[in-house]
């Protein structure tokens, strides 16, 4: 990405997306945010330099128009962070409303793909660009999230497919797979007793949750020239949750 190019962050008004906006601005990037109507206004005073665009990433026509508008009015987009996503409550398949399943898939999976395609147009023309998709460690484990986890597994797969498709056109496509990250959404799940923070921490090798800023640092690395030969990866940022879960078979971790 050159100094004249900007970064677009979908879902930039909260959680990991907002942490990415904050860090990228600190590192001198020009940042544009795409989020639902009314979401960015909460942060405009803090980040007056950010241009925000109201758009639902599940709406393909609106997203294509928004991508074209950003390029036309504000110049080339050299990097994209796909952070728009929603969680779901723990529900058995027979109790999970298909309308909720559809919405999770529409945003977390389809919206990520649509944004990649929308912003790839300019990147392909310039023969350079970097995309980071926010996946999840749930893509690699069986969890009682029967829409969210399959959607994030699809994000990992599409990351690999697009990396292979666009690599020779100068576009790198990677993913970050956060572990249990203390975002507003996770805190709300904890508050309504849908997640147990002690159980989440007990599974992780490092014995703690992940901070949004830690995910943002990994995103910034994958966007940067320091990762110039890296494409098609799904980088876990999980405080060791993936390597830690199997320890429970052997009695878990000793008290420290």
Instruction: Give me the active site residues, please.
Output: 148
Under DSSP, the state recorded for 81 is E
| Residue reference for tokens 């977390």 | 108
Buried b (16+ CB within 10 A) or exposed e, 141-172: eeeebbbbbbbbbbbbebbbebbeebeeeebb
Nearest CA to 6 out of 162, 130, 163 is that of 130
Residues, the chain: 256
- CB–CB of 7/30 below 8 Å? yes
Joined tokens for residue 180: 């249990």
**249: how many CB neighbours lie within 10 A of its CB?**
7
């Amino acid at each position: 990405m050159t100094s004249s190019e900007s970064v677009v962050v979908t879902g930039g008004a909260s959680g990991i997306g907002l942490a990415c906006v904050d860090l990228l601005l600190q590192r001198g990037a020009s940042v544009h945010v795409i989020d639902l109507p009314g979401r960015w206004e909460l942060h405009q005073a803090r980040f007056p330099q950010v241009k925000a665009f109201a758009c639902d990433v599940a709406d393909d026509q609106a997203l294509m128009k928004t991508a074209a508008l950003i390029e036309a009015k504000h110049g080339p987009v050299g990097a994209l962070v796909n952070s728009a996503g929603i969680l779901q409550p723990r529900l058995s398949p027979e109790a999970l409303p298909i309308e909720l399943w559809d919405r999770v898939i529409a945003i977390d999976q389809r919206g990520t793909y649509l944004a990649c395609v929308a912003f790839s147009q300019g990147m392909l023309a310039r023969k350079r660009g970097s995309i980071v998709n926010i996946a999840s460690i749930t893509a690699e484990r069986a969890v009682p999230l029967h829409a969210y986890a399959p959607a994030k597994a699809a994000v990992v797969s599409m990351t690999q497919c697009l990396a292979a498709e666009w690599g020779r056109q100068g576009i790198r496509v990677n993913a970050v797979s956060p572990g249990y990250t203390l975002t507003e959404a996770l805190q709300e799940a904890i508050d309504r007793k849908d997640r147990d923070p002690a159980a989440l921490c007990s599974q992780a090798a490092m014995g703690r949750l992940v901070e949004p800023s830690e995910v943002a640092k990994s995103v910034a690395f994958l966007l940067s020239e320091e990762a110039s030969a890296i494409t098609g990866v799904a980088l876990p940022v999980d405080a060791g949750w993936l390597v830690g879960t199997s320890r429970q078979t052997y009695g878990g971790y000793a008290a420290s």
